A and B are shown apart, each in its own frame.
Chain A
Amino acid sequence: MTRKVWMGLALLAVFSLFSLGLQEAWAAEETVKIGYCAPLSGPAAAWGLPGLEGTSIWVDKVNAAGGLKVGDKTYKIEIVKYDDEGDGAKALVGVKKLVLEDKVVAILMLGGATTPPTQPFLSKEKIMCFVLIASDIAPDRPYLMDVTDNFPAYHLLHTEYIADAHPKAKKAAIISQDDEIGLAAIAWSEAGFKAAGIDVVYSKAFGVSTTDFAPIITAVLEKKPDIISMGASYPEFQALICEQAYTQGWRGIITSACWDFGAILAKVPKEFMEGAVSGFPDFDDPKLTKDHHDFWAEWKKRYPDHSFSEIVWEYMGALDVWAYGAQKAGSVKSEDVFKALKAADTVPHSFGPGKWFGKETFGNDNLLVPTWPITEIHGGKPAIVAYKNLFDWLKDAKKKQILFDTLKAWNIKTYQ
């Protein structure tokens, strides 16, 4: 009897030692977790779901190479996702789970409605938060950064390019939906056109529940614009706007923050969109680097029938920046990475070396601005036609004044 008990205890001891040893071995290969808290279902899923494609390719590549070398340690990377459905309350639950349970060191988020409820907690925990919407940057959100998408600043560059490439185009109309990003797009585009010497003959937001664009486009065309900017209209609006402009006989230059070509080309012929201006190349563009092309090939292999959009790579772009910061800091601790990134003179952005910007417009220098590509649509596909730099644009004091005046007129807060 007693012998049996002793035997049992001994076995238990061996087992526990063994499992401890296992745990040790496990721990030698350390994992660092990064949170992905974005809409994965519901009406906003299109702004969250495709990003997982890019991040999973990135993670697989890093882990296949043995992990990310930070200081003298090598980390495997793990993405922990949480579906916030684009809802503030759910996002708060999500970031708390990610930070407190999963111990993530950084969080990728879409931004917008989920930012105000989550930032107080994330700032307190000093967890870096990478969003895709620059206007979420604010003085009281030190750890919130936008290191990929340059919306709405790139509207200044698109408009400047249009003025360069089409000297005859003199009148522009701007429309976008009446929400935060739509209004920002209108204001920045208007500033861009004005600074480029183009008359803005129409700039107005339409309601987010608009389904009939006939009256709006009629009103727009009455002003005889040479250019129509769709601002940051949602894909479903873009298709309807293009269809109306086309059927009402308008021909001219179209520009928009981004596109969903599938939807648009279902409504209008390819020729109508020829020469349309934007800032998001496909990653197989010959002007881009081998890294981009490799990514494109891998993405095409994994998701042969998905359509490409900037959402696919923008969350991943944030991972690139984070990894750069971690390696520079020699640590994955959120605060260290943050400091290293902010201390760097230039930080590599997907489109090349970027500099920090935003103090005057958003109250904090947390927007990473590279030299941004300008694309034109040719044969239904975007192609890079130029590169432009925001800092060059801002060097002209007169243009800068126009920008701030216009933002003020649109009731958009600045910190000049």
Chain B
Amino acid sequence: MIRRILVYIVDNFRWIGWLMILGAVLIVLPYMVRTYQVEVLILLLIDIILVVSFRLITTTGGWSLAHVPMMGCGAYATALLTAGLGVPFWISLPLSGLAAAVMAFILSYPLARTTGFAFFVASFAAGDSLRLCWTRFKTPFGGHKGLTNIPVPEFFSSVDLSAPIPYYYLALVITALCLLIMFRLDRSRIGHTFKAISMNADLSRSLGINVTFYKMLAFTIGSFFAGVAGVLLAHRLWAVVPAQFGFVTTLYLLVWVVFGGTRTFHGPILGVVVLTFLSELLKPLFEWVPMIFGTIIILTLIFFPEGLEGLGHRFTPWLDRQRFAAGDEPRH
């Protein structure tokens, strides 16, 4: 009986149903947790934009180590625009994303011509030189101390976006919008072309696909969204410091993505969400955290080499068995 109900639920809740439940959970979530945990959720939303935009670039085959500095570009751009020039947040948001995209476009000119390990190294160098610019030039970037006094986003005067919960909703809406756009892109012909390039670049070329152009396109679009993530971060921390966009953050990004997997759209999201919750849970263990964390990641990768998204495939045969036991025909 329970089996039958379980199978029924899984089969009949189409994605819209799931999405509605997810939306409802996300809307009430900030009221269910502690104030400081709302802060964790805000950072999580920002990280979700970051990993999904990172995956967008990986769909063409390259793992960019410049992604976190690209987020920094967005953060610095909005700091200069809003705090320096008094541009409103809502204009600065797309403009700063665009600034990251323009920077990415310029860098992608040489980067898109490299593949594999060379791309890895070249993107790292590109990102690092960006960071060097921020620390070296006190005007306008503020050197090592970065930029402070970044204003709170303005909204109807009744809503105070310096408070955590309203900012959470702001981040939620922007994240949802970003994911929607990136999901559309992933499922469009453009997304298919990206994947074709990563599967067989030479064949794609011979079929008339301008591989370099599409790689530049992926890098630029991905960086745009990284920039948007940077904007959200800057307006939450009210400050940008170059150390924020250092290699440690990049390492976190790579761990999330490897842990979640890059094959599917939801893989990296799963990775960052699970690991963030895990690290919140483990926080009271302090010095032990890196060790436990490392063990969990290694074990996961041993048993699910494709990352967490591989779990789904393992789950399907099990579900089929349950269906069979419940007397239904397995679906395909």
Report A's interface with B, CB cutoff 8 A.
40-43, 49, 81-83, 85-89, 92-93, 96-97, 100-101, 112-113, 116-117, 119-120, 140, 178-180, 183, 411
Complex: how many Å from CA A40 to CA B279?
14
What 6 A-B pairs have minimum CB-CB distances, sorted nearest first?
Answer: A116-B239, A180-B144, A113-B243, A117-B237, A97-B36, A96-B36
Contact B249 A83 (CB under 8 A): no
Complex: how many Å from CA A101 to CA B290?
24
What is the predominant secondary structure among interface residues of chain B facing chain A? helix
* Contact residues of B between 113 and 146, Cβ < 8 Å to A: 135, 138, 143-146
Interface size on B, residues (CB 8 A): 32
Partner of B248, one of A42, A81, A179, A180: A42
Partner of B244, one of A81, A89, A119: A89
Contact B138 A411 (CB under 8 A): yes
| 26 A-B residue pairings within 8 Å (CB atoms) | A40-B287, A41-B286, A41-B289, A43-B248, A87-B244, A87-B248, A88-B243, A88-B244, A89-B233, A89-B236, A92-B236, A92-B237, A93-B43, A96-B36, A96-B39, A96-B164, A97-B36, A112-B243, A116-B145, A116-B146, A116-B239, A116-B240, A117-B237, A179-B135, A180-B144, A180-B145
Residue of B nearest to A121 (CB): B238
Additional A-B contacts beyond A87-B243, A117-B237, A117-B241 (8; CB < 8 A): A40-B287, A41-B289, A88-B243, A100-B36, A119-B239, A140-B148, A179-B144, A180-B143
In the assembled complex, which residues on chain A have CB atoms less than 8 Å from the CB atom of B138? 411
Contacts known (A92-B39, A93-B39, A101-B34); A117 close to B289, Cβ less than 8 A? no
Residue of A nearest to B144 (CB): A180
**Does B321 lie at the interface of the complex (its beta carbon under 8 Å from any beta carbon of A)?**
no
In the assembled complex, which residues on chain A have CB atoms less than 8 Å from the CB atom of B264? none
In the assembled complex, which residues on chain B have CB atoms less than 8 Å from the CB atom of A88? 237, 239, 241, 243-244
Complex: how many Å from CA A86 to CA B249?
11
Contact B243 A89 (CB under 8 A): no
Complex: how many Å from CA A43 to CA B37?
25
Contact B248 A89 (CB under 8 A): no
**Does B295 lie at the interface of the complex (its beta carbon under 8 Å from any beta carbon of A)?**
no
Contact B283 A83 (CB under 8 A): yes
Question: Which of A116, A119, A180 has the most chain B CB within a 10 Å cutoff?
Answer: A116
* Contact residues of B between 137 and 164, Cβ < 8 Å to A: 138, 143-146, 148-149, 164
**Does B176 lie at the interface of the complex (its beta carbon under 8 Å from any beta carbon of A)?**
no
* Contact residues of B between 255 and 293, Cβ < 8 Å to A: 283, 286-287, 289-290
**Does B35 lie at the interface of the complex (its beta carbon under 8 Å from any beta carbon of A)?**
yes
Contacts known (A42-B248, A43-B248, A87-B248); A116 close to B237, Cβ less than 8 A? yes
**Does B40 lie at the interface of the complex (its beta carbon under 8 Å from any beta carbon of A)?**
yes
| B145 CB, nearest partner CB in chain A, Å | 6
Contact B148 A116 (CB under 8 A): yes
Residue of A nearest to B34 (CB): A101
Contacts known (A89-B43, A93-B43, A180-B143); A83 close to B286, Cβ less than 8 A? yes
Complex: how many Å from CA A39 to CA B43?
18
In the assembled complex, which residues on chain A have CB atoms less than 8 Å from the CB atom of B149? 140
In the assembled complex, which residues on chain B have CB atoms less than 8 Å from the CB atom of A41? 286-287, 289-290
Complex: how many Å from CA A88 to CA B36?
15
| B251 CB, nearest partner CB in chain A, Å | 10
In the assembled complex, which residues on chain A have CB atoms less than 8 Å from the CB atom of B238? 116-117, 120
Complex: how many Å from CA A97 to CA B36?
5
Complex: how many Å from CA A43 to CA B43?
21
Contact B237 A85 (CB under 8 A): no
Contact B36 A89 (CB under 8 A): no
In the assembled complex, which residues on chain B have CB atoms less than 8 Å from the CB atom of A96? 35-36, 39, 164
In the assembled complex, which residues on chain B have CB atoms less than 8 Å from the CB atom of A42? 248, 290
In the assembled complex, which residues on chain B have CB atoms less than 8 Å from the CB atom of A92? 39, 236-237
| B290 CB, nearest partner CB in chain A, Å | 5
Complex: how many Å from CA A87 to CA B233?
13
In the assembled complex, which residues on chain A have CB atoms less than 8 Å from the CB atom of B164? 96
Residue of A nearest to B152 (CB): A120
Question: Which of A40, A113, A179 has the most chain B CB within a 10 Å cutoff?
Answer: A113
Contact B144 A81 (CB under 8 A): no
In the assembled complex, which residues on chain A have CB atoms less than 8 Å from the CB atom of B135? 178-179
Return the CB mask of B275-315 against A: 1 if under 8 Å, else 0: 00000000100110110000000000000000000000000
Contact A40 B286 (CB under 8 A): yes
Complex: how many Å from CA A95 to CA B39?
11
Residue of A nearest to B139 (CB): A411
Contact B34 A117 (CB under 8 A): no
Complex: how many Å from CA A29 to CA B201?
71
Question: Which of A89, A97, A112 has the most chain B CB within a 10 Å cutoff?
Answer: A89
In the assembled complex, which residues on chain B have CB atoms less than 8 Å from the CB atom of A49? 287
Contact A117 B239 (CB under 8 A): yes
Residue of B nearest to A102 (CB): B36
In the assembled complex, which residues on chain A have CB atoms less than 8 Å from the CB atom of B34? 97, 100-101
Question: Which of B39, B164, B283 has the most chain A CB within a 10 Å cutoff?
Answer: B39
In the assembled complex, which residues on chain B have CB atoms less than 8 Å from the CB atom of A82? 283
In the assembled complex, which residues on chain B have CB atoms less than 8 Å from the CB atom of A89? 43, 233, 236-237, 244
Complex: how many Å from CA A40 to CA B240?
22
Complex: how many Å from CA A183 to CA B136?
11
Partner of B36, one of A101, A113, A183: A101
